Chains A and B, each alone.
Chain A
């Protein structure tokens, strides 16, 4: 493995350990930068060390300590860090799995703004540069840099701890961590054609973080559900858009091009998450179970919609949101009761909670089209077109509208 590859792959592990040892994200990042620069000079000449991770941690630690000693002489405010260093001199510098877990709980602390949580998680654990994160989220680099600065300053100034929350707070805080991971995934997954390549990196990052949570929190079922959900969605990435960048609906996708290995892994995780001792299945496990039913159907027509409708029913109890009710209505329609599904969609429509959500009129239009009620379908497609923002989705809806009016 080349130096850059090692750096990329091990960034999160190394940085998390350095943050434990040094007590400050900036100090740790600067130390790691210096160690990396030293590696670029030395490794090609002296050869790659037997344990590159250990070498990078200990070099970065020494660089950081040297730098801090110089600064302590200049400024009194570093006193606290100096004291921390004295204490940490006794700590083991071998990376511990716990280090990354501590760090993700810090990065996803609810006292930080969500956009800051996302940026910091990708920066520290994902090893992405500020420019890469900015590019992936389609914001200017200085804006992203500002978010990172603000988040790191709050961690330091308000003293947000580096620790895995205690048992009673863990479930709630784990929820916040999973929200961030899934948000990263969706940001990558929803990417339209032009930005697709760059943003697939986000899906990979989210899956990597999901794996980390599963590995480090083995007794918890929900991380398994979340990882399964992401793997199952991601297994279809090659077939979601056609050559022109237009959306291909699930039922029209080429199932032979779905990633079977990922589907098998996802399905096994779903089972583990659903069977987890004594706990009722959580929202990620249920969503993953739904994705697994789709992924395992040999053809679109063979999809077990009855089971999907039942799973949405369970999901609506665990996590009652209008979007889930909409999905349940569609599943009911698809399992043979189009009229009944349509009635559920209309009831939801009248409640007005999804007035800004383009997928409600889009789903309604689709059901009306299947019933042959083309004039009403056209009207709903037009409503959806007013609300939609994604380009690929807009083109898809436009195409459908032209079909029903002709």
Chain B
């Protein structure tokens, strides 16, 4: 079964770190994930640019409305995602708990990926 890991971070806290610090954490996270690619567990993932680059599109009274910023203002912001293929939730939770980004203070929301139309 496939799961998506939504990685949340406090952008303000993240901004206070130096490029070197951020780079080291990033590198560790890449290595941690890539080490699990050959087994088929890690299926890919990408970081996102900050929410100040976000644009939201919705419809209001039959008209499209485009606004600056993320869909919802939250304390922590979506900062990237990872897709894994696992036999069950525990396998994903174990991976997430030891993830370098979690160790660095970020949060990971684990969501099973639905196959096909809504049930």
Q: Mark A94-128, 1 if CB is under 8 A from B, else 0.
A: 00000000000000010100000000000000000
Q: Is the CB of B90 within 8 A of A163?
A: yes
Q: Which of B1-19 contact A (CB under 8 A)?
A: 1
Query: CA A57 – CA B112 in complex, angstroms?
Result: 32
Query: Knowing A77-B119, A158-B112, A159-B1 touch, does A165 contact B90 (C-beta < 8 A)?
Result: yes
Contacts A111-B93, A165-B90, A169-B94 given; does A159 touch B112 at CB 8 Å: yes
Find out whether the CB atom of B119 lies under 8 angstroms from the CB atom of A111.
Answer: no
Bits for B67-93, please: 1 = Cβ < 8 Å to A, else 0.
000000000000000000001111001
Main secondary structure of the interface of A (DSSP, over half): loop
Residues of A close to B88: CB separation below 8 A: 159-161
Question: What residue of chain B has the Cβ atom nearest to residue A105's Cβ?
Answer: B90
A159, B110: Cα distance in complex, Å: 12
For this complex, into which size category does the number of interface residues on chain B fall? 10 to 19
Residues on B with C-beta less than 8 A from A111 are 89, 93
**CB–CB B90/A161 < 8 A:** yes
A140-192 contacts to B (CB < 8 Å): 157-161, 163, 165, 169
| B94 adjacent to A158 (CB under 8 Å) | no
Which chain B residues (83-114) contact chain A, with CB distance < 8 Å?
87-90, 93-94, 110, 112
Task: Flag B27-44 by CB within 8 Å of A: 1 or 0 each.
Answer: 000000000000000000
Contact indicator B119/A159 (Cβ below 8 Å): no
B100 to chain A, nearest CB (A): 19
Taking CB atoms, residues of chain B closer than 8 Å to A77 are 119
Q: Which B residue sits closest to A77, measured CB to CB?
A: B119
Contacts of B94 in A (CB 8 A): 169
A161 pairs with B119, CB closer than 8 A: no
Q: How far is the CB of B114 from chain A (nearest CB, A)?
A: 8
Chain B residues positioned under 8 Å from A160 (CB to CB): 88-90
Output the residue of B1, B90, B94, B119 with the most chain A CB within 10 A.
B90
Please name all residues of chain A whose beta carbon is closer than 8 Å to the beta carbon of B119 when the two chains form the complex. 77
A157 close to B112 (CB less than 8 A): yes
Q: Which residues of chain B in 36-66 are interfacial with respect to chain A, using CB atoms and an 8 Å cutoff?
A: none
- Interface residues, chain A, with chain B CB atoms under 8 Å away: 77, 109, 111, 157-161, 163, 165, 169
Name B's A-contacting residues (CB within 8 A).
1, 87-90, 93-94, 110, 112, 119
8 closest A-B pairs by CB: A161-B88, A159-B88, A158-B112, A160-B89, A158-B89, A159-B1, A161-B90, A159-B89
